[in-house]
């Protein structure tokens, strides 16, 4: 699948002004969902449609959600503003696209050497993350929910092998969010392109490498046609959360039972989306290696060490930022520090023991 027109022009555009406010016909709310993805793009596009359908279902049809893919009503990178301003009712995207709004927002998506998908939910539910998420987004007229996660993303597609941290200097690389800030500190020339634009830039030679999501979605875009070196671990995004944000006025106008339906739709999809990614990533990687000549590599130890140092510098800057960003960063770091040691004996311990026993 080609994604040539994904996330193109900044701003909302003329089409957004024509989107009507929420309409009520025979006590049915007609909600417009805008997304950062083409319709049915494997991974996030599929998840967006599931969310639209589930809100309609769990509301008993009292909220009818019509989904518009990137560029149909607004550009993919205009969905935040469209919903904030009330020209659409809700969007599906990822928080890492909104760093220009507030640095604090980036922490709700993924963090270099940060939280896994399940840990992210732990922070949101039991570490104060959701309260901070609500506080930050309320300043933009939005009510946010996490509604999925891609799991650990990959370090990216490279035209040439990477043998040391020195090889990263000057490398023209696509990334987003806090991972892009980490890469910049490593001397990389980072470009925040859409997934489709990344394909075009790799094809033309304007990029040397880039990361998007993982094997399932990446294979659909077609990066394996151009770059054959695929690197792990994607420590820049150990768990990339997808989000739904509802216009705050639309949200507050809902009765309690419909608020519960919207919340349940988002929360019920999180694990479903995560496990779909996990399963299809595994299948897609096998096919990429067997059918497309893709070479899978682990990042060298000195690259990982350099990334850890760079990530620390990124967090120091966040802690020195505005009060909101400092507060969110402190909350994330406290939860990460709490959970990290336990996970060595828990999930990591079990996964590593299994791998050793199986010889994989």
Mark the binding-site residues for substrate, compressed into ranges: 153, 174, 211, 237
3-state percent helix, strand, coil for the chain, nearest multiple of 5? 50, 15, 35
> Taking the mean position of all CA atoms in its chain, how far away is CA 122?
17
User: Where are any strands of DSSP class E within the chain?
Assistant: 23-25, 28-35, 63-68, 90-93, 142-149, 156-158, 172-174, 189-191, 209-210, 229-232, 241-247, 295-298
How is 137-154 classified by DSSP, letter by letter? HHTTTEEEEEEEE--SPP
Phi-psi bin for 161: left (phi > 0), alpha (psi -120 to 50), beta? beta
Whole-number Cα distances in Å, 4 to 41, 60, 69: 12, 37, 13
* 17 cis-preceded (ω within 30 degrees of 0): no
Closest alpha carbon to 204 in 226, 171, 224, 175? 226
Q: Computed from CA positions of residues 198, 199, 201, 205, in that sequence, does the dihedral angle turn out positive or negative?
A: positive
Beta bridge partners of 68: 34
Partners of 172 in the β-ladder: 189
CA 157, 160, 162 angle in degrees (round to 5)? 85
Q: Judge whether 2 and 196 are in contact, CB under 8 Å.
A: yes
Residue stretches of the annotated binding site for Na(+): 212
CA–CA distances in Å: residue 315 to residues 325, 329, 336: 10, 7, 13
Binding positions are: 153, 174, 211-212, 237
H-helix segments, 230-322:
248-252, 256-292, 301-319
């Amino acid at each position: 699948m080609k994604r040539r027109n994904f996330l193109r022009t900044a701003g909302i555009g003329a089409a957004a002004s024509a989107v009507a406010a929420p309409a009520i016909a025979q006590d049915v709310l007609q909600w417009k969902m805008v997304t950062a993805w083409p319709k049915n793009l494997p991974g996030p596009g599929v998840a967006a449609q599931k969310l639209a359908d589930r809100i309609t279902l769990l509301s008993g049809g009292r909220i009818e959600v019509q989904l518009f893919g990137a560029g149909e009503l607004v550009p993919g990178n205009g969905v935040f503003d469209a919903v904030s301003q009330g020209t659409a009712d809700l969007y599906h995207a990822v928080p890492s696209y909104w760093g220009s709004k507030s640095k604090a927002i980036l922490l709700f998506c993924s963090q270099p050497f940060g939280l896994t998908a399940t840990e992210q939910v732990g922070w949101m539910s039991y570490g104060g993350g959701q309260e901070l998420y609500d506080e930050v987004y309320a300043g933009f007229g939005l009510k946010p929910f996490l509604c999925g996660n891609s799991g650990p993303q990959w370090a990216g597609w490279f035209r040439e092998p990477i043998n040391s941290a020195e090889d990263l200097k000057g490398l023209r690389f696509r990334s987003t969010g806090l991972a892009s800030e980490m890469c910049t500190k490593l001397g990389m020339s980072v470009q925040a392109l859409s997934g489709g634009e990344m394909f075009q830039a790799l094809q033309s030679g304007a990029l040397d490498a880039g990361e998007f999501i993982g094997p399932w979605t990446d294979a659909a875009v077609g990066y394996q046609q151009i770059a054959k070196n695929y690197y792990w671990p994607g420590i820049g995004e150990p768990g990339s959360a997808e989000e739904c944000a509802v216009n705050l006025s639309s949200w507050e106008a809902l009765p309690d039972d419909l608020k519960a339906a919207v919340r349940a739709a988002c929360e019920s999809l999180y694990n479903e989306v995560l496990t779909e990614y996990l399963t299809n990533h595994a299948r897609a990687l096998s096919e990429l290696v067997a059918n497309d000549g893709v070479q899978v590599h682990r990042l060298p130890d000195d690259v990982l060490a350099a990334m850890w140092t760079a990530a620390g510098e990124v967090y120091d800057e966040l802690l020195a930022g505005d009060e909101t960003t400092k507060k969110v960063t402190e909350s994330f770091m406290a939860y990460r520090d709490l959970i990290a040691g336990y996970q060595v004996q828990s999930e990591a311990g079990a996964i590593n023991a299994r791998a050793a026993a199986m010889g994989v």
